[in-house]
Amino acid sequence: MTKARNLKRLTMVTETGMNAALLDLRAAVDARGAIDEHIAELDQMRLSILSDPVSEAILSGADQRWLVWAEQERRHLNAALARARVAEARAKTAAAKAFGRHQAMQLVVEKRLRR
């Protein structure tokens, strides 16, 4: 009976590991989503400036500087997005492994308890 109890405890450990990996994955997905939103907002601001005929006609130095800044910001955001996608992929892999470990442990416990 003690082996069964130990196996159940080990199942709880694998479940905790799986839950932690899923939380990490959720955080990575949220981080990537926030960067995606920031890029979309920046693109929308840029489009609104460029589509306004008055703004196009009087592109002052400030408007031009903003466009240069926006392009630099977009490059930085794209680099951050690439890093976030890598982090998300790693978190997915870790979550899949943790899920597999937990499922395997559950099967071992079920087989052991049937004996």
12-44: buried (b, 16+ CB within 10 Å) or exposed (e) per residue?
eebbebbeebeebbeebeebbeebeeebeebee
The CB density around residue 96, as the number of other CB atoms within 10 Å, is 13
Cα–Cα distance, 113 to 4 (Å, whole number) = 7
The domain 2-114 is placed in CATH, from the list 1.10.287, 1.10.20, 1.20.1530, 1.10.150, at: 1.10.287
The string of pLDDT tens digits covering residues 72-98 is 999 999 999 999 999 999 999 999 999
pTM of the model: 0.81
Nearest alpha carbon to residue 80 among 25, 38, 18, 17: 38
In angstroms, what CA-CA distances link 96 with 37, 71, 109? 27, 37, 20
